[in-house]
Amino acid sequence: MTIEATGKALAPSDIASRKGGEPIVCLTAYTTPVANLADRHCDVVLVGDSVGMVVHGLPSTLGVTLEMMILHGRAVRRGLTRALMVVDMPFGSYEESPEQAFRSASRVMAETGCAAVKLEGGARMASTIGFLTARGIPVMAHVGLTPQAVNTLGGYKVQGRGAASDRVMNDAVAVAEAGAFSVVLEKIPEPTARAITQQITIPTIGIGASPACDGQILVIDDMLGLFTTFRPKFAKRYAELGSDAVRAVAAYAQEVRERRFPADEHVFADASASATGGGAA
């Protein structure tokens, strides 16, 4: 099933042209209503594989499937008119070979209507990025902390400290030279992220990186405070919707138990009462 994009949306080339210019605003989205909210203010909406943890309760992103990404990608597409839509390639769908990556990415684009895909990995993925871009698939790269490699990285640790900064720099340079139109820098020391941004020719999108990056991205649930206990250092909370929701659910439960909800204004009168002017319609 191919979904046609509606309206005039930003293209990968529009994002690439913002290098060194107005900061690029990015957020994740997994549903139509949230995509619609983000579309009003964001340049890029990412259907992240974080959906596995945020929506499906998985312990990591490793259990996310191509079918899950397509399902949520379709939902997000329906909520967007302006923002560039990017879909994460899930673990196991692109690492085997450039040909496997092309089959997976072309399916994602055809079935969701997204304009680009995102994949994790630096120098080791450069040939795959080049293969995809040469065949009409725009790629957003992702270096530093790459959650799909959490088992080999030893956890969700900051990447690129000390001597390891050269490795992260080399990864960023490699994906830029391979043809990625932008790159996410995740959990990288600020000086390293700043140096990468200054050196490479494509926009950098920071998450736990540097204010010097060409743009910033957060998981929208983190930014809105939908989780009452999980507070990553790099995610500023602009609301506390989780706490508000807890209070709302508690108030609802109390009113139901006390038979205060539903009240008269929430129920319907029968036809005869309506005809005589009594009760709600």
Domains and CATH numbers, the chain: 12-239 (3.20.20.60), 243-275 (no CATH)
Contacts of 54 (CB under 8 A, 6+ apart): 28, 30, 219, 221
Question: E-assigned strands of 49-118?
Answer: 84-88, 116-118
Q: Is the pLDDT of residue 2 over 50?
A: no
User: Residue 281's pLDDT is what?
Assistant: 47
Q: Could you tell me what percentage of the chain is helix, strand and coil, using 3-state DSSP and rounding each to the nearest 5?
A: 45, 15, 45
Q: Kindly report, residue by residue over 197-231, the tens digit of the pLDDT.
A: 999 999 999 999 999 999 999 999 999 999 888 78
Question: Can you tell me whether residue 88 is helix, strand or coil?
Answer: strand
User: Residue 47's pLDDT is what?
Assistant: 98
Chain-centre distance for alpha carbon 259: 41
Q: Of 186, 190, 255, 265, which residue is the catalytic one?
A: 186
Q: What is the mean pLDDT of the chain?
A: 94
Segment 57-62 long-range contacts (CB within 8 Å, at least 24 positions apart): 60/147, 60/150, 61/90, 61/91, 61/147, 61/148, 62/91, 62/148, 62/150, 62/151
- The annotation status of 49 as a binding-site residue, yes or no, is yes
251: tokens are 């108030």
Quote the pTM value: 0.92
Q: Kindly report, residue by residue over 65-123, the tens digit of the pLDDT.
A: 999 999 999 999 999 999 999 999 999 999 999 999 999 999 999 999 999 999 999 99
Asked if 186 is an active-site residue, the reply is: yes
- The annotation status of 88 as a binding-site residue, yes or no, is yes
CA gap 117, 279 in Å, rounded? 55
- The annotation status of 50 as a binding-site residue, yes or no, is yes
**Higher-confidence residue: 277 or 47?**
47
Q: Is the pLDDT of residue 6 over 50?
A: no
Q: What percent of the chain has pLDDT over 90?
A: 87
